[in-house]
Amino acid sequence: MGGAGFGGFADVFGDIFGDIFGAAGAAGARQRSNVYRGADLRYAMDVTLEQAASGFETQIRVPSWENCDTCGGTGAKPGTKPQVCRTCGGNGNVRIQQGFFSIQQTCPHCHGSGKVVSDPCSGCEGVGRVKRNKTLEVRIPAGIDDGMRIRSAGNGEPGVNGGPPGDLYVEIRLRPHDVFKRDGDDLHCEVPVSMPTAALGGRIGVPTLNGQAEIELPEGTQTGKVFRLRGKGIRGVRSNVPGDLYCHLVVETPVRLTDKQKQLLLELDALLKDPKHSPQTKSFMDRVKDFFQ
């Protein structure tokens, strides 16, 4: 088998986002005492910020236990069938009397199945299941965030003794981005600005997920100034409007200066000694002076 995908995605979200895989849901955990629902499986998927913002479709290969084709999941050799366990009488449980108390526990002979395979199937060695890889088509909705899960109903491990299968949970892991940091539906980024541009002001380009935008810097912009670009964030899976982009300005100090550049900066520094050019420095020095007095 293996490699068989499934389609027919539903548009309604279940679990956290819903059953977008379109598989049938489990009918119930148990039908009788020795019928058990299959275990759930988890698959971790790394996605980029761009993929999370726009959504995408992909395929994943997951290991899973499937009913043996040779024996049909019974575990018995074709032409034979499992026998009722004599220890528990087919109940899968036994009662042990300890003084005044009666304790029920899983049958040690059939391990809760209620049946014993005397002539095991060669294809699965009597287990009734075989491990295979299968390929599933997955649609990741736009706006999905780190830690969120998508449920694929019925694609977990098969149930025991005809029980319903478990589910597959795809857990999203958002990769770190070189430029942006995500905070819910909002994005944050640091934008370096040269000293002359910060002092004189002007228009500068800033990155967004959909291309470049521009912001207007006022004269005397300081490090830490934050500019908000409305609607330039991410539209979350439950949001009607996208979040915002916050640009944090960082005034960059020049490095590796030539002798001429250093001389020019010294001359400029001398011209800027007037406190009106450096109000924050004056305020800081006044507070320091008051502290020591």
Taking only the tens place, the pLDDT of each residue in 116-128 is 888 888 888 888 8
In single-letter form, the type of residue at position 29 comes to: A
Strands (E), the chain: 41-47, 56-67, 83-84, 93-98, 101-106, 115-116, 129-140, 149-152, 168-174, 181-183, 186-194, 202-208, 211-217, 226-229, 245-252
Q: Do residues 92 and 29 make contact, with C-beta atoms less than 8 angstroms apart? A: no
Whether the CA torsion 56, 59, 60, 66 is positive or negative: it is positive
Q: Tell me which of 5-14, 32-41, 53-62 is least confident.
A: 5-14
pLDDT in tens, 225-273: 999 999 999 999 999 999 999 999 999 988 898 999 989 988 888 887 7
Alpha helices in 47-171 (DSSP H): 49-54
pLDDT for 179 equals 96
Could you count the other beta carbons within 10 Å of the beta carbon of residue 22? 15
The sign of the CA dihedral 179, 181, 182, 187 is negative
As a whole number of angstroms, the distance between CA 3 and CA 24 comes to 19
Model confidence pLDDT, tens digit, residues 223-234: 999 999 999 999
| pLDDT for 58 | 94
3-state helix, strand, coil in the chain (%, to 5): 15, 35, 50
Total residue count of the chain as it appears in this document: 293
Domains in the chain (CATH in brackets) are 1-68+127-176 (2.60.260.20), 181-292 (2.60.260.20)
Output the average pLDDT for the chain.
82
pTM for the model stands at: 0.69
